[in-house]
Amino acid sequence: MKLFFQEYARVYRQIINDVNRILKPYGLTSVLWRIFLYLEKNGTAKASHIYEYYSMDKGMTSRYIAKLRENGYVEYIEQNGKVKKILQLTENGHKLFQEINVKIREHEKDVLSTLTAEEQRDIMVIIEKLRIKTGHN
């Protein structure tokens, strides 16, 4: 009998490896990509929002954000001449996101093509149920 966690880990790891291969030419990893995704979806965020959303280590998240800032992909918002600890993608960050996102979505479509539309809906329902059960908002 196959064990759920073992099989899930194998599939998850392969998906992440594939995503990392897509991101490597851009000097990014799947962890850095998560920050792009969060900021693209939400517009702005504090670092705490990002590490809480993904259950990431606070210190590592800060280092990832620093790397993205150094590369000119994210910046802190400035209001009334003061820098706020609220992040947003820079113009270059938005452009890079658009370029990479096309490739990631193509890969996702290819991986999911093995499933029927009904199976794709079912797996998203299952993932949502597991997310709720594990206490992730």
pLDDT in tens, the chain (137 residues): 789 999 999 999 999 999 999 999 999 999 999 999 999 999 999 999 999 999 899 999 999 999 999 999 999 997 777 767 899 999 999 999 999 999 999 999 999 999 999 999 999 999 999 989 988 66
pTM: 0.85
Contact of 44 with 59, CB cutoff 8 Å: no
Total count of residues recorded for the chain: 137
User: What is d(CA 42, CA 37) in angstroms, rounded to the nearest whole number?
Assistant: 8
**Could you tell me the domains of the chain?**
4-105 (1.10.10.10)
From the CB of residue 87, how many other CB atoms can be counted at a distance below 10 Å?
Answer: 24
Which residues, 6 or more positions from 16, have their beta carbon under 8 angstroms from its beta carbon? Answer: 30
**Pair of tokens at residue 5:** 């966690």
Separation in Å, CA 81 to CA 47, 67, 76, 78, 97: 21, 24, 12, 6, 28
